[in-house]
Structure formats: structure tokens, C-alpha cells
A and B are shown apart, each in its own frame.
Chain A
Amino acid sequence: MPDEPAPSPTGGPPDDPLFFCDPTTRRVFLTRAAGASAAVTLGHGLFSGPDAQAAVQAEAGGGEAGGEEEVTLLINGRQTKLRLDPRVTLLDAMREHLQLTGSKKGCDHGQCGACTVLVEGRRINSCLSLAVMHDGDKITTIEGLGTPAAMHPMQAAFVKHDGFQCGYCTPGQICSAVGMLAEIKAGIPSHVSADLLGEMSASEEEIRERMSGNLCRCAAYSNIIAAVREVSGDKTGGEA
């Protein structure tokens, strides 16, 4: 944990892990959020303290560094060569080395989904994967899905349905939703699919289950579901 919680830039409560400040002071928030979330213990194992120091140390190449590794990532259609400490996660490589700060760090432990990106078309938690393990992989982040001028249909639907409040979970939600619809299309069943061998639908119940890896502390869930259902084109299972 950082020794001293950084003063709140906009006068909000300094130890509230859900207090999000304006993007220009994101660094302050990040340091603080990483420290503060160590105190958020929800049940056993969930939201246990992320190791903020480790990220910083890996960042600085601290410890008895085991040398750097070369890795080529194909992010959002662009090929990038990096030399990285093997400790650097895919999430940190994108955020800290490539300035792709759309993907967010919520828990750093696979428990929230804020870091969700698409690797070879499949959604994964980029916080629980090492960048060096993705040599040659094709990665799509929120920045690669669309731009403000030419939004991906899922981005447009989130705007239309107000699928967020603070927006911190949103890049992960959108990448996850895109990956999820591809999984439904590929016929991959879920825990709530009544028939494992039947056709898969994007009913509200299915979306709730399939999106359970993305938490939203603002609880914008009903609007997120409305947005995803609109893009899915699925009319079964009642109105969202």
C-alpha cells in the first residue's frame, strides 16, 4: 500500500475506492485506488488486496530483474515491438508502455472484468496474463473497436442506453459484450442454458450470466443489458 493516501483532487473522500477523479489526474487515482482496494474485502478471496507495489516494481524493473524479453504485439491492427520485464502483465504493457489507457485496472486479480480485452477474438482478463505470453497475438482493446467519430455498434448502444455512470467498468463491459455475442454465435453454452445442445439465445437471463465476469460498482446493469440486447438483435426472453 502507498504510505499516505493521496489527497483527493476534487475534495472527494480520500479512501473511497469508488471515488473517481477527472482524467487529468488519473495517476493520482490509480495509486490511490490500488492502495485503497486492499481494504475492500468482499467475501473470501474476492477483492483481496492487489499488489500495487509489484506493478510499480515491475514497472521500474525493480527487484533482481531476470532480464527483459522481447515481445511483438499486434494491438488494434498495429504491430508493436516491446522489451519488457516478464512480470509486466498485458494490461500494464498496454496502459503503461503503449498509452492505451482505455482498458482499466480494477482489482488486478481477475475479479472485476475492467481489464477485459479481446485476444484472437476471445475475451480475457488482461490483468491475469503476462505480456510476454502474447507474442504475435492479435489484440483488440476499446480503442480498437471504434472511435468517437466511428463507434462500434456496441459502443453506440452503450451511449444510447446510458449503459454506465462513472464509466470505469465500461471499456471492459463493451469488450466483454462483443466477445460474448461471438460466443453465443459460436454456439457456446452457458450455466443458464436449459439445453446444452440447443440453439443459444441472448435472452436477458443469458446476458446476465454470461456478463457476470464484469462488475459495475455503479450498478448500471439494467442499461448495460438493454444495450447488449439491442446489438444482439435477440427478441426472446422478454424485454430488457
Chain B
Amino acid sequence: MKAFTYERANTPAAAVKALAARPDTKFIAGGTNLLDLMKLQIETPEHLVDINRLGLDKIEPTPEGGLRIGALVRNTDLAADSRIRRDYAVLSRALLSGASAQLRNKATTAGNLLQRTRCPYFYDTTKPCNKRDPGSGCAAIGGFTRNLAIMGTSEACIATHPSDMAVAMRVLDAVIETVAPDGTTRAIPIAEFHRLPGNTPHIETTLGPNEMITAVTLPPPLGGLHIYRKVRDRSSYAFAVVSVAAVMQKNGRNRFAFGGLAHKPWRVEEAEKKETAAAVAEAVLAGAHTTPQNAFKTLLITRVLTSIFAQAAA
């Protein structure tokens, strides 16, 4: 790990001021992604601002009838909240399918949204990677692509976003609340939060360099049947190969979001009007860029959707 200095912020305003005060500063929340990457010198901040004691760890009702989740709410606490379990079960299920209990006890809502890719070449500092080292090239293209993206890819990067939680938040149309050092706040719909790689895969979200996530709000409950289906290489403690978050309604107004397909949680709202699994899959996967190693993901998505439709009909 490279040397860094450390400070603990006590209020959100002080935290964003500290972030803006010097270059190469990063927030540390649960630390489960940042410290992992710092040990590998993939992340090399010179200063860390600890935001664990800002009091942003509450889940509160909104006037609209939804919930406002503090940025520092731990993944365990979010999954276990009785309102989330009852009204947003897809989110509970997605969280519980991720990482391990120990990691979920530390991992935070904001940190989870901002976790970085698991592309093997991003982790391998001996290989070129436009995300880790802009302009150096992409070792994944033409390399081992089994776990990489098939939707929204670019010539510069074919990495996926690894979060399970974010996929459920996408299906629920969550909104990310932020604050900047001058006190300005923003509300960013999750659809606009994560970016596609384009020519700048190192810029992963629309969060400003000195902005802090303060909360994530969920709109009022949708009702319906909530399902999160994660397909992975072992049955626990593994990232998704593909995953589907679904909210199935009797009136056919279903919603689907997908993990393991793209640089962001993938959702094609037009496709949700289709009435069969095959038709939804076809519309969602239109324009897919597959390789012989990851083309199986298209069939896998169709099959997972088939099982979700069957479960909803049962």
C-alpha cells in the first residue's frame, strides 16, 4: 500500500470540504473495495477521509411514501430492514446474494454502488487496461472474456459492473442524492448514474469529483412478486455471471434489470411490454456484442427469464 494520511470527518459538509481540499483524496466507507485495491496499488490515494461517523446510517420514510436510505447504511442492515424485506424484497434478495456476511456487515450503500469492476485484467497490473491506466489499451479484448460484458461495450473497455444491489435498485428506479462542497445537492436517477465505458472507461459514474453520496431514495412500493435470480460459478460467495432482478405484476407491467451484461445495471424498458421470456430476452439483448467465450450469456438470460415467468405464473 502507498503511504497516505488519514482524517475522520464528523459532518457531511466537513467531509466534502476535506475531499475538495487536496488532490488525490478519497472517501473511505466500509473499505471493502477501496482497501482491496489500495493493497494492489490499483488505487493510490494520498489522503483518506473516513465518512463512517457522519450519522448517514438511517433508513427513513419519505413524504412520497418511499424510503430514504443513508449512504452509510450497511448492506446487512439494508437487507434486514423489515420495510425493505416486505416492500422491496428484490433489493433484500440482491444484497443477500452478494459477497459474504462479514463483507456485508461492513459494505455500505454508497460504496456498493461505487465498487469497481472485477475484470481480471483490471486487477492484473502487468496488463494494459484503459480503466486503470487510461490510454494503455485493453487486455480483455481478445483475451479471456467469459465474465465480461456483452451490452453497451466499446472499443476501449468491455468490463461489467459487479454489484448485485445496483441491479435491484435499477429495477426499483432508485435515486441517488449527493452534496457538493458548495452545499449544492443533486438527485440523480440510477439510470443516469452509472456510465457506459465509451472512450473514458475510467469515468464510471456521473458523480462529480468532489461530490458525496448522502442517500439513496426508493420510490413508493411497486407491489407484485419480487425476484432476484443470480447465476454464478458456485452457489455462494461469488460474483454473478448474469443476474436478473424482476418485479412481476398480474397486469403484465413487469420490470427487469440485468447484472453481468454491461458496464452498468442493464435495463430496456421497451422490452418489458413483451409477454414471453423469449420476446423480452430478444428485445433486451438486441445489439449484443458477444465473443465465443461469453455468447452463452444470451441463452442464459433467456433461460433465467423463462424460469422467472414460470414462477410468476405458478
Chain A contact residues, CB within 8 Å of chain B: 43-46, 48-51, 54, 57-58, 62-67, 69, 85-87, 89, 108-110, 113, 116, 122-125, 128-130, 132-133, 135, 176, 179-180, 183, 186-191, 193, 196-197, 208-210, 212-214
- The stretch that binds A, out of B75-83, B131-139, B304-312, is B75-83
**What is the bound-complex CA distance between A85 and B4, given in angstroms?**
9
User: Known: A125-B32, A130-B6, A191-B236. Contact between A196 and B93, CB under 8 A?
Assistant: yes
A-B residue pairs, 8 tightest by C-beta: A213-B100, A66-B5, A212-B236, A86-B6, A63-B3, A54-B1, A44-B120, A212-B237
Establish whether residues B1 and A133, one from each chain, have CB atoms under 8 Å apart when the complex forms: no
B102 at the interface (CB under 8 A from A): yes
Which residues of A have CB within 8 Å of B46? 66
Establish whether residues B96 and A66, one from each chain, have CB atoms under 8 Å apart when the complex forms: no
Q: Which of B3, B39, B79, B106 contacts A64 (CB 8 A)?
A: B3
Q: Give 1 or 0 for each of B77-109: 1 = CB within 8 Å of chain A CB.
A: 001101001100100110011011111011000
**What is the bound-complex CA distance between A168 and B97, given in angstroms?**
27
Q: Which residue of B lies closest to A65 (CB)?
A: B3
Which residues of A have CB within 8 Å of B123? 44-45, 48
**What is the bound-complex CA distance between A65 and B2, given in angstroms?**
9
Establish whether residues B3 and A123, one from each chain, have CB atoms under 8 Å apart when the complex forms: no
Which residues of A have CB within 8 Å of B100? 110, 113, 212-214
Establish whether residues B92 and A57, one from each chain, have CB atoms under 8 Å apart when the complex forms: no
Known A44-B118, A110-B100, A123-B105; 11 more pairs at CB < 8 Å: A44-B120, A45-B118, A51-B41, A57-B1, A128-B32, A129-B35, A130-B6, A180-B101, A183-B101, A196-B85, A208-B236
**What is the bound-complex CA distance between A123 and B101, given in angstroms?**
8
B193 at the interface (CB under 8 A from A): no
Establish whether residues B102 and A133, one from each chain, have CB atoms under 8 Å apart when the complex forms: no
B36 at the interface (CB under 8 A from A): yes
**What is the bound-complex CA distance between A135 and B6, given in angstroms?**
13
Establish whether residues B1 and A128, one from each chain, have CB atoms under 8 Å apart when the complex forms: no
Establish whether residues B237 and A110, one from each chain, have CB atoms under 8 Å apart when the complex forms: no
Q: Which of A113, A130, A190 contacts B35 (CB 8 A)?
A: A130
**Shortest distance between the CB of B311 and any CB in chain A (Å):** 13
Establish whether residues A86 and B4, one from each chain, have CB atoms under 8 Å apart when the complex forms: yes
**What is the bound-complex CA distance between A180 and B105, given in angstroms?**
11
Interface size class of B (residues with CB under 8 A): 35 or more
Establish whether residues A197 and B86, one from each chain, have CB atoms under 8 Å apart when the complex forms: yes
Establish whether residues A129 and B106, one from each chain, have CB atoms under 8 Å apart when the complex forms: yes
B21 at the interface (CB under 8 A from A): no
Establish whether residues A66 and B101, one from each chain, have CB atoms under 8 Å apart when the complex forms: no
Q: Which residue of A lies closest to B104 (CB)?
A: A213
Residue from A44, A179, A188 with most neighbouring chain B CB atoms (10 Å): A44
Q: Give 1 or 0 for each of B34-70: 1 = CB within 8 Å of chain A CB.
A: 0110011100001110101000000000000000000
Which residues of B have CB within 8 Å of A213? 99-103, 237
Q: Which residue of A lies closest to B48 (CB)?
A: A86
B233 at the interface (CB under 8 A from A): yes
Establish whether residues B28 and A128, one from each chain, have CB atoms under 8 Å apart when the complex forms: no
**What is the bound-complex CA distance between A183 and B76, given in angstroms?**
10
Which residues of B have CB within 8 Å of A129? 31, 35, 106
Q: Which of A50, A135, A191 contacts B39 (CB 8 A)?
A: A50
**What is the bound-complex CA distance between A132 and B4, given in angstroms?**
12
B1-37 residues with Cβ-Cβ distance < 8 A to A are: 1-6, 8, 28, 30-32, 35-36
Establish whether residues A109 and B36, one from each chain, have CB atoms under 8 Å apart when the complex forms: yes
Establish whether residues B106 and A189, one from each chain, have CB atoms under 8 Å apart when the complex forms: no
Which residues of A have CB within 8 Å of B79? 188-189
**Shortest distance between the CB of B104 and any CB in chain A (Å):** 9
Residue from B40, B86, B89 with most neighbouring chain A CB atoms (10 Å): B40
Residue from B2, B35, B48, B82 with most neighbouring chain A CB atoms (10 Å): B35
Which residues of A have CB within 8 Å of B256? none
Q: Which of B4, B86, B96 contacts A190 (CB 8 A)?
A: B96
